[in-house]
Each structure stands twice: as structure tokens, then as C-alpha cells.
Amino acid sequence: MIQVEGVSKRYGPHQAVRNISFEVERGEIVGFLGPNGAGKTTTMRILTGFLPPTEGRAVVAGFDVMEQPIEVKKRTGYLPENPPVYPEMVVDEYLDFVARIKGIRGPEVAQRVDAALERTSIGHVRSKVIAKLSKGYRQRVGLAQALIHSPDVLILDEPTVGLDPKQIIEIRELIRSLSGEHTIMLSTHILSEVASTCHRIIILNQGQIEASDTPANLIARLQGGESVQLEVDGPAAEVAAKLQSVAGVDRVTRGSDVAGRPTFTVDSQRTADIRAELARAVVESGWGLYGVKATGMSLEDVFLKLTTTDPVAEGSEGEAEAAVAAEEN
Amino acid sequence: MSNVWTIARRELNVYFSSPIAYIVLAMFSLIFGYFFASGVAFFQSISAQAAMNPGMAPPMNVNQFVIQPTLGNFTIILLFLMPMVTMRLFAEEQRQGTIELLLTSPVTDYEIILGKWLGAVLLYGCMLGLSLISMAVLFLYTRPDWKALLAGYLGMLLIGSSLLAIGAFLSTLTKNQIVAGALTFGLFLLLWVLDWVSQYSTSMVGKVCSYLAMPPHFEQFTKGVIELKDVVYYLSAIFLGLFLSKRSIESMRWKA
Ligand SMILES: Nc1ncnc2c1ncn2[C@@H]1O[C@H](COP(=O)(O)OP(=O)(O)OP(=O)(O)O)[C@@H](O)[C@H]1O
Ligand SMILES: [Mg+2]
């Protein structure tokens, strides 16, 4: 549905996006993740035909964004960072206007407006002036605007920014409900957001793609395996040796004691679950097993590890990149 | 074409759902009414003199004594009101970020520009419509030459539409409405005074300046004469304004 080949964007001397390439399949939800200034908005603007790329080619819904922009725009819905609403207009009037400039005509306009209002649950504010709506509702009007012509591709730039937790959950559910019928690209800084809504994450940093994978794989790849925490009632040294002998175990480290019982963190190379084997090893040795817990590294950690570059110390940037490179091998 | 109309209709709605339309229409009617009333007063005094002095040839021509001076003065209203109409056209879209909606919708740049310009021209049409009320009074009591008046209104439409096209272009240059308004007023003022300078100059530069000046091209229209060169001048100004807007929006894309 979306193909990006070697796209770069320069603003004067400043290179905002450097030679990025990726593809998004029909019906997929892909999340763009990256710190401020990573180039997320720039990339999305290129995909929507708002900005021309300096180099490279982007094909959306089968049409080149530079050569057939109108065809692309007919098939894409776009929610910019700030919802593009006219504050002095009434919600209904605004959506009517948007439907028409998106190419909808005749009695279908009213139907589409109703459908979009319902989809984003803003029917009860339809006769209000947009300026008087709360930020969350304005965001939903922006979303209604993006999907009014039921486009093949939806591009949502930070769709949940500025919303309260309840609204965030609602918008995420809405986005999930839209997948399948639409191909969706969204950007965010919030990691739990991509983890809970997206099939795939593309991590952008300083205009480059640092990683592109499913949320689960990203964690596994970064960690090089699983990590299990155990709490065992038994002689610490012996337990550690026993755990180390279980097939697939990479490393055993002893943590702080809990109620006099030692705890262990067991790292395994495999992505397979070895909790059952660990538990059996402990119980068969006659020790008491008080807890087994898999601790996947959170996406927050992935994010920090991948994209944190310390502007003060140049060296750490190299290290972070080396770490990523090592993980990818 | 229907995209142009959709955009124009929204512009007109914005004007009428904000105070802009009412302020502009009220100020226009007030000042136009004043010019008209003084034209009528002048006409009355001339008529009275003529009646008392039979030796004087009767110049009882409303077109010459009421309509022509009224329309001649009328352009000065445009100098002040047109920037108020055009300054928001694109500046507001840029500030609100709604330009992103327009530029990512399946409409061409020309459709956006024509739509916005047409919206402003329609508001201007309302102004001209109000001025017709004064003219109707004239028709109640006298017999003006309506063909000459029609030519005058064609001129009014042309000069106003060219100012709106130029104003629309200047509004693409900034996201600050006040800046756009100031630029527009400044340029209009220049277009008004260009021929003052050239009165003392016979050089090539002077000739060019006096050709570029806007009000002189309107003079023949007030007399009821449509001259091709004047029509061409205004149509070129409209075309230039719209064309420059298009280029400016393109470069907005590259910079954005
Ligand atoms: N119009 C512009 N002119 C010049 N530089 C720009 C412009 N827009 C963006 N940039 C620069 O390009 C880089 C990428 O910006 P972009 O807005 O794409 O980042 P982002 O990932 O969306 O960030 P955020 O999370 O803050 O929204 C930044 O360094 C920014 O300063
Ligand atoms: Mg952004």
C-alpha cells in the first residue's frame, strides 16, 4: 500500500530525512516511533503529497506522490500534528466542506458526514462551533476529517497527543477498529501506544530508520532472548549452578534476597519460553519455588536504547549505534 | 469547477459569520452614500444656477454630474477596504495549519486560489449590490444613461477584482494577517500614487509608472466608455495576482 524508496528531505542545509526506505502492506498498522525532530512529521508530509521529497520516490495506494498527487490524495486521509480545523465553523459544516473537497458529491455527502461523526463518537457536538470544543474533541473532529472519504490509507501524526487517558484508550480502539479496511501509519512518542495498536514499528532517529519490526520481535532482538526472574528457597550457590545447567540458559545473576530467600535473573538466548524447565529443575532438587516471572524488556527500554544519543558525549552515540548494529547481526 | 465553488462558498461563509463582512459593507455603504449625496447636492446647485441663468447651456446630465464624480471617488474606498478583505485569505490558513488540509486534499492549487479569490469577489459583489441602491434612487427621479452606468459597474468589478487578486497573493507570503494587510495597503497606495510622480516626468520610467498606476485606467469607465486597453490592464492584473499566488503556494510546499 505504501512504498518508500530512498527518500531524503533537506530543509536548506539541514537534512531532516536521510535515505529511508520501507513498505507497508494493505491493512497493516505501522507505528512511527522516534524522539522530537526525528523526521516523523516530515516523512508523513511527503507521503501525503504536502511536501515533495528532495530525493527518492514514494508510492501510496499505487500512485507516485510526485507524479499523480491528486490520485494519491483521493485515497489518503491525513491527520496532521495539529488538527486542521477552522475554529469559526460548526462541526457539521466543517465535515460537509471536507467531504466536498475530498471529492464526495450529492446526497452522499450527508451520509459520509453522519458516518464519520458516528465513527468518532462526536455526534452530540455536531452543531457546536469548533472553537468551543475541548482539545480532545477537536482531535476527534480531525480524525473524522481524515476518514470521511473512507480512504485506503490513513496517516495520523500523533493522534493521541493532548488527550486524557480515557480518550487515548478510545482513540486507540478506534484506530484498531479501522485496521483491515484501512492501511494506517501513525506516529507517536508514546511507546505503549505503538505496542498496543501497531502490527509493526519503525523507529526513526535523526532522519534514519534504526529498526523496523513487530513490537515483540523488537524486544526479543534487543534483548537477545528472554529474561526470567525466580525466587527460590535453597542454597544460593547450588541453585545458581543448577539453573545454569538448564539447556538454553545463558547467564544467571543473583539479585537481592526477598524475605531471606535468594532471587535469580536467568537470561536465555532463545526466544522460546524456558520457565517450565527452570521450575522443574528447582523442584526436582527439592528446593522451594516461590516465584517465576518472565520480564520482557519494556518498549521504553528499547526506545531508549535505540534512539538515545547523548548530545553532550559524542562517544555514546557511536556506542548506541554499535549496539544496534550488533543486535542486527 | 465544483471544488472552486465549494471553497468560494466557505470563504463567503467565513466573511459573514465574522464581523468582517458587516464592517466592510457598512463602511462601504456609508462612504459611497456620502460620495453619492455630495454628487447629488452638486448636481442640484448646478441645476438651480442653470434655471436662474437662461443664457447658460443646460448641462443637465446626471451621468456627468452625479455618477461620474461618485465613481471617481469610489476607488479611494477600495484602497482602504480591499486589504481588509484579502489579508486573511491565505495568512489565516497558514497560521491555523488548515492549509495542510487544503494542500493534502484532491484539489489543485489553482482551484484553491480561484475559490478563495472568488469568495472575496462575491463579497465585493455584495458591496456593489448595496451601491446600486443609491443608483436606483437616481432612476426614480431622473433618466440617466443606463448603458454608461453599466460600463461604470463593469469597471468597478474589474478594478476591485484585480485588487483582490493582488491582495490574495500578498496574503500567501505570511502567516500574519496584519503583516499581509500592511503589505497589501502599502502596495495599493503605491499603485495609486505612481502616476503623480510621472506627471512631472516624460521619461520612459515615467511612462511605465503612469501605465502601471491603477486609478487612471478606471477613468474612462466612469464616463461610460469601455476601452480595450483598460480591460486588458485589469485582466492582466487579475491574472498576475492569481499566477503569483500559485507560485507562492508551490514555494510554500518546498519550504513548509
Ligand atoms: N519547515 C521546516 N524548515 C526547516 N527545518 C524543518 C522544518 N520542518 C522541520 N524541520 C526540521 O526537520 C527535522 C525533522 O522534523 P520533523 O517535524 O519531521 O520531526 P518529528 O519527528 O515530527 O518531531 P516531533 O516529534 O517533535 O513532532 C527537525 O530537525 C526540524 O527542526
Ligand atoms: Mg512531528
* CATH number of residue A149's parent domain: 3.40.50.300
Give the model's pLDDT for residue A196.
78
Chain B CB contacts of A52 under 8 Å are: 253-254
Helix (H, G, I), strand (E, B) or coil at A226: coil
Instruction: Report how far residue A290's alpha carbon sits from residue A261's, in angstroms, rounded to the nearest whole number.
Output: 9
Instruction: Report how far residue A26's alpha carbon sits from residue A184's, in angstroms, rounded to the nearest whole number.
Output: 9
> Is residue A71 domain-shared with residue A194, that is, in the same domain?
yes
Give the model's pLDDT for residue B242.
97
Statement: residue B133 has pLDDT above 50: yes
Looking at the complex, report in whole angstroms how far the Cα of residue A326 sits from the nearest Cα belonging to chain B.
37
User: How far, in Å, is the centroid of ligand 1 from the Cα of A30?
Assistant: 20
Question: What's the whole-number average pLDDT of chain B?
Answer: 89
Chain B CB contacts of A11 under 8 Å are: 255
Give the model's pLDDT for residue A271.
56
pLDDT band at B207 (very low <50, low <70, confident <90, very high): confident
A255 is in which domain, residue-wise? 227-295
> Is residue A163 domain-shared with residue A282, that is, in the same domain?
no
B251 interfaces chain A, CB cutoff of 8 Å: no
pLDDT, mean of residues A249-258: 80
Chain B CB contacts of A86 under 8 Å are: 10, 14, 96, 98
Residues with CB under 5 A from ligand 2 (ion): A 40-41
> Is residue A231 domain-shared with residue A100, that is, in the same domain?
no
> Is residue A209 domain-shared with residue A136, that is, in the same domain?
yes
Alpha helices in chain A (DSSP H): 40-47, 69-74, 91-101, 108-119, 135-147, 165-178, 191-197, 215-223, 236-245, 275-284, 299-307, 314-328
Nearest CB to B104: which of A49, A52, A89?
A49
Ligand nearest to the CA of A207: 1
Instruction: Report how far residue A123's alpha carbon sits from residue A220's, in angstroms, rounded to the nearest whole number.
Output: 43
A132 interfaces chain B, CB cutoff of 8 Å: no
The closest of B255, B245, B253 to B103, measured between CA atoms, is B253
Give the model's pLDDT for residue A135.
87
Statement: residue B251 has pLDDT above 80: yes
Alpha helices in A9-65 (DSSP H): 40-47
Tallying the residues shown for chain A, one arrives at 329
> Is residue A66 domain-shared with residue A108, that is, in the same domain?
yes
Statement: residue B198 has pLDDT above 90: no
Sign of the C-alpha dihedral, residues A295, A299, A305, A308?
A: negative
Residue list, ligand 1 pocket, CB within 6 Å: A 11, 14, 16, 34, 36-42; B 256
Give the model's pLDDT for residue A218.
73
Statement: residue A224 has pLDDT above 90: no
* CATH number of residue A285's parent domain: 3.30.70.1340
> Is residue A11 domain-shared with residue A131, that is, in the same domain?
yes
Q: Which tops the pLDDT comparison, A85 or B60?
A: A85
pLDDT, mean of residues A7-18: 90
User: How far, in Å, is the centroid of ligand 1 from the Cα of A189?
Assistant: 14
Give the model's pLDDT for residue A304.
62
Ligand nearest to the CA of A80: 2
According to the per-residue pLDDT averaged within each range, which of A116-120, A214-218, A220-224 is highest? A116-120
> Is residue A83 domain-shared with residue A170, that is, in the same domain?
yes
Helix (H, G, I), strand (E, B) or coil at B223: coil
pLDDT, mean of residues B238-254: 92
> Grid coordinates representing A282?
528447582
Write out pLDDT tens, residues B65-109. Answer: 788 888 888 999 999 999 999 999 999 999 999 999 999 999 999
Give the model's pLDDT for residue A12.
84
According to the per-residue pLDDT averaged within each range, which of A190-199, A263-272, B157-166 is highest? B157-166
Number of domains in chain A: 2
> Is residue A118 domain-shared with residue A51, that is, in the same domain?
yes
User: How far, in Å, is the centroid of ligand 1 from the Cα of A142?
Assistant: 21
Residue A229 and residue A295 in contact, taking contact as beta carbons nearer than 8 Å: yes
Look at B256 and A50 and tell me if their CB atoms are within 8 Å.
yes
Give the model's pLDDT for residue A292.
84
pLDDT, mean of residues A20-43: 90
Helix (H, G, I), strand (E, B) or coil at A160: coil
Helix (H, G, I), strand (E, B) or coil at A182: strand
Q: What DSSP letter does each residue of A67-122 carry, written as one string? A: T-HHHHHHTEEEE-SS----TTSBHHHHHHHHHHHTT--TTHHHHHHHHHHHHTT-
> Is residue A170 domain-shared with residue A238, that is, in the same domain?
no
User: How far, in Å, is the centroid of ligand 2 from the Cα of A60?
Assistant: 20
Q: What are phi and psi of A184, to 5 degrees?
A: -125, 135
Look at A101 and B106 and tell me if their CB atoms are within 8 Å.
yes
Sign of the C-alpha dihedral, residues A247, A248, A250, A251?
A: negative
pLDDT, mean of residues B222-246: 94
> Is residue A145 domain-shared with residue A13, that is, in the same domain?
yes
Instruction: Report how far residue B172's alpha carbon sits from residue B255's, in angstroms, rounded to the nearest whole number.
Output: 13
> Is residue A166 domain-shared with residue A203, that is, in the same domain?
yes
A70 interfaces chain B, CB cutoff of 8 Å: yes
